[in-house]
Amino acid sequence: MKMDYTQDSRVVMTLDAGGTNFVFSAMRANKQIVEPIRKPSNGHQLDLSLKTIIEGFRKVQQTVPEKPVAISFAFPGPADYPNGIIEKLINLPAYTGGVALSKLLNDIFDLPVYINNDGNLFGLGEALAGFLPQVNRDLAQAKSPKRFRNLIGVTFGTGFGGSVIIDQQMLVGDNSAAGEIWSLRNRLSPEHCAEEGVSIRGVRNFYARLTGTDFRSAPSPIDIFKIAEGRLAGDRNAAQKSFAQMGRVAGDALAHAVALIDGLVVIGGGLAGAGKWFLPALVEEMNAPYINLRGEKIDRLELLCYNYEDDQQRNEFLKGRVQTITVPMSHRTITYDNFARTAVGISRLGTSQAIAVGAYCYALTQLDTWS
């Protein structure tokens, strides 16, 4: 079933739940229709936090032009998402022990309630209305027969989040744990997980090490970015290398993911704005060869990765290698593109908007599937 809800008139109330703030809104036809309502998450007090969620949705319900058909929102994990049960959260510790959040909201609002991971919803939003359809439009404009159907969505920020979207379907997994790319091994520090290098703390740690300073006094990523740009005093070379090292850790993890999934890669999150400094190293790492036991270089992947934000690489990606062959024992011909490739790019919707679109579309497809 094709999940195109750009003309759908149904309203879904949404929430982007973070460790500091809850942001409530409502969507219709893939667009936000109310001004977002921000409330503190109160993540250390369960009763107060739950009351905040209820009050936030009640305020949205009073604002929307018609009755919503569902509630759909992003909540961090770990969680049993199909059953709407939140298990144990670092940023929202009051939810430890299992909180049946979906059932609570269903009882109060008498609406279907859908909860999922913010990373999953980000990937779904970009697959349906962001990076993936943009790449396919670009391919069509370039008169290429190549089209993509799969997407790996990752977020670089407080953590290293991941999602897998296969032919418009979100891969959740049997334990709601699919796409947990953060737990792969760290390329530059094998005793650590990848998230220790692909995160806010990762960039700060790289800068501290490169400058020989204490981590606690390291600048914020936005300041490291400004230093890399030459707009703030500091070690510019170290700042640029900090993002490049993050890119190498991310590129290694993404190469593993692409080897299994074979799809496009889109990046969101608070660190995505520094793409000019980490994407070259990330893509280079994905394309780096292995060495076999005879000392020979062998391709790591069966496809070539391109930086979609680089004009030259994007043009080469779109061009592909189109050829025409003759069908044996006939005069008929077939034109096809035999160049195996993928592209890595930055979110086309923005992380928050992609999550909202993902939440909206996920709710409607669940309603349409099971109604």
The whole-number pLDDT of residue 334 equals: 92
232 and 209, same domain (yes or no): yes
For residue 354, being part of any structural domain is answered with: no
53 and 77, same domain (yes or no): yes
254 and 216, same domain (yes or no): yes
219 and 319, same domain (yes or no): yes
The whole-number pLDDT of residue 90 equals: 74
For residue 121, being part of any structural domain is answered with: no
17 and 91, same domain (yes or no): yes
User: Mind listing the pLDDT tens digit for each residue in 57-116?
Assistant: 999 999 999 999 999 998 877 788 889 998 877 778 888 888 999 999 999 999 999 999
The whole-number pLDDT of residue 1 equals: 52
For residue 3, being part of any structural domain is answered with: no
The encoded tokens of residue 274 equal 């520094």
The whole-number pLDDT of residue 21 equals: 87
User: Mind listing the pLDDT tens digit for each residue in 229-278?
Assistant: 999 999 999 999 999 999 999 999 999 999 999 999 999 999 999 999 99
For residue 1, being part of any structural domain is answered with: no
For residue 82, being part of any structural domain is answered with: yes
The whole-number pLDDT of residue 79 equals: 82
Q: State the SS3 of 140-178.
A: HHCCCCCCCCEEEEEEECCCEEEEEEECCEECCCCCCCC
C-beta of residue 109 within 8 angstroms of C-beta of residue 61: yes
The whole-number pLDDT of residue 175 equals: 87
Integer Cα distance of 256 and 253 in angstroms: 5
C-alpha 179: how far from chain center: 10
Element (H, E) at 15: strand 11-17
Alpha helices in the chain (DSSP H): 46-63, 101-109, 118-129, 131-141, 200-211, 221-229, 236-261, 275-287, 311-319, 351-370
188 and 104, same domain (yes or no): no
The whole-number pLDDT of residue 371 equals: 61
102 and 169, same domain (yes or no): no
Task: Provide the domain count of the chain.
Answer: 2
Helix (H, G, I), strand (E, B) or coil at 194: helix
Integer Cα distance of 182 and 192 in angstroms: 10
Helix (H, G, I), strand (E, B) or coil at 38: strand
CATH number at residue 82: 3.30.420.40
C-beta of residue 261 within 8 angstroms of C-beta of residue 164: yes
For residue 124, being part of any structural domain is answered with: no
C-beta of residue 355 within 8 angstroms of C-beta of residue 75: no
Average pLDDT for the chain: 94
For residue 178, being part of any structural domain is answered with: yes
Query: Any idea which residue has 């070379």 for tokens?
Result: 237
Query: Is the four-CA dihedral 245, 310, 182, 261 of positive or negative sign?
Result: negative
Helix (H, G, I), strand (E, B) or coil at 21: strand
Q: Which residues of the chain have pLDDT under 70?
A: 1-2, 371
Integer Cα distance of 354 and 165 in angstroms: 13
Q: Are β-strands 37-40 and 31-32 bridged in parallel, bridged antiparallel, or unpaired? A: unpaired
The whole-number pLDDT of residue 272 equals: 97
Integer Cα distance of 137 and 203 in angstroms: 34
Integer Cα distance of 37 and 353 in angstroms: 15
Q: Are β-strands 304-307 and 341-346 bridged in parallel, bridged antiparallel, or unpaired? A: parallel
326 and 255, same domain (yes or no): yes
212 and 313, same domain (yes or no): yes
The encoded tokens of residue 77 equal 């994990």
The set of residues, in sequence order, having a beta carbon less than 8 Å from that of 214 and lying 6+ positions away, is 208
100 and 215, same domain (yes or no): no
Angle between helices 275-287 and 236-261 (to 10 degrees): 50
112 and 139, same domain (yes or no): no
Q: What is the pTM of this model?
A: 0.92
For residue 277, being part of any structural domain is answered with: yes
Integer Cα distance of 323 and 30 in angstroms: 38
Residue range(s) defining the domain that contains residue 232: 131-348
93 and 146, same domain (yes or no): no
Count of helices and strands (H, E) across the chain: 10, 19
